[in-house]
Every structure is written in C-alpha cells, then in structure tokens.
Amino acid sequence: MTIGFLALFVLFPIGLIYGGISGYFGGKIDIIMMRFAEAVMSIPSFYLLIILAALLPANMTSTQRFTLIIVILAFIGWAGFARVVRGMVLSIKNQEFVESARSIGASSFRIIVKHILPQTASYVLVAMTLSVPGYILGESGLSFLGLGIQQPDASWGNMLKEAQEYINILYRPWLLTPGFLIFVAVLSFNLILNVQLFSAVT
C-alpha cells in the first residue's frame, strides 16, 4: 500500500503542473505538450510496467527496486491526469479572478499555482483516491510475477506467489490471505471514492 501513496506524491505534482501549464498557455505549447502526453497514454500501461520492471538489474537492493517501481508507476500514470487538469484549466483561465490577477501584474506561474490549480482540488481528491487501487494492483502484479519486491521483503504480491500451486492451497489455505487483503484494500478505496462523490453531489 505504501507504494500506491508514494507514487501519488510523485505523480500528482507532475500532472498538475504539466496540465496547468499546457492549459494556461494554450496554442503551440498546448499542442506539443498534449501530443507528448497522448503518446505516453497510448502505451498499454501494465505491459509498459512489466517491461520497465524487467529491465531493472537483478542485483538491486529491495530499497532501490522499491524506489524505481514508484518512479515507474508515476511515469505511466501522470499523462491521463495532466490531460484532465488541462481541460479544467482551459475553462478556468478566463474567469474574472484570473483576469484580476493578471491585471495586478501577477506572473503566469503564480496565477497557475495560486489561483487556477486550487480550483481543481475537488477533482484531485477524487482522482487520488481512484488511483491508489490501481497502483496497489500494479505493484502486486509485478511482485507476483517476480519483477517487483523480492523476498525476504514482504509484499502481498510475492506472498501470493506461493499460492500458485494447487497443492499449496490445499494444505496451506492461509496463503490466499494476501489476495483477500488486496481485495479488501481495493474495495475500501472504491467505497471511499463513492462516499466522496455522494458528498459532492449532496
């Protein structure tokens, strides 16, 4: 679960700033930045995740592998978030409070960070909640395939790997516990998301 949260701290600042700059300046800058983001989005994320993880040196320590998996997860997830933020910025940048900030001489960076991006906070909270389950499943999948966190360090994925064989499940059914915990964690985050959406509507 830690990987999911740490990946968010890397991913969301990148997506916010990238999408904010693209939407605010528009024109050629927006076209170039969005075409790059779309190129990243067009790559199948889980397959890219497997390829990048498989390229990691086998002699890496668990701490180094842990850090690089966080970077990889952030790399494959920022583009979609940046695209949505860009769309929101396009609708916000022409509002009166932004025009007022421009009229008093505020810099573009200050307008983006202080006046525009905070208006996207409601979406950011929902997107953060929605992203964590995907990162948990991504890391668990990598560890299950032997490309993520390696034993003796614990991960739900590498713990569940021992349950691949039918004979192990038959005589040691508790090996399925990590799979149940993954299910509970993902379900919990989705329930939190539903509560957030219901609160926003009401």
Give residue-wise pLDDT tens across range 107-162. 888 888 888 888 887 777 777 777 778 778 877 877 777 777 777 777 777 777 77
What's the pLDDT score for residue 32?
92
- The tens digit of pLDDT for each residue in 174-193 reads 778 888 888 888 888 777 76
- More confident site: 29 or 168: 29
Confidence class of residue 94 from pLDDT cuts 50, 70 and 90? confident
- Residue 157: C-alpha distances to residues 19, 100, 137, 181 (Å): 33, 52, 9, 11
Q: Which amino acid is residue 10, in one-letter code?
A: V
Residues 82/14, Cβ–Cβ less than 8 Å? yes
Query: Rounded distance, CA 185 to CA 129, Å?
Result: 12
In b/e form, how buried is each residue of 23-47, taking b as 16+ CB within 10 angstroms?
A: bbeeeeebeebbeebeebbeeebee
Determine the average pLDDT of the residues in 76-80. Answer: 80
pLDDT value at residue 194: 64
Between CA 10 and CA 77 the distance in angstroms is 10
Residue-wise pLDDT for 3-62, tens only, equals 777 777 888 888 888 888 888 888 888 899 999 988 888 877 777 777 776 777 767 777
> Rounded to whole angstroms, how far apart are CA atoms 21 and 89?
9
Q: Calculate the alpha carbon distances from 16 to 27, 81, 98, 116, 185 in Å.
A: 19, 8, 17, 10, 26
Residue 1 pLDDT exceeds 70: no
CA 184 to chain centre: 19
Sign for the pseudo-dihedral over CA of 110, 112, 113, 115: positive
At 72, which amino acid appears? I
Smallest CA-to-CA distance from 20 within 133, 123, 134, 103 is with 123
- Looking at residue 157, its pLDDT comes to 79
pTM (two decimals): 0.72
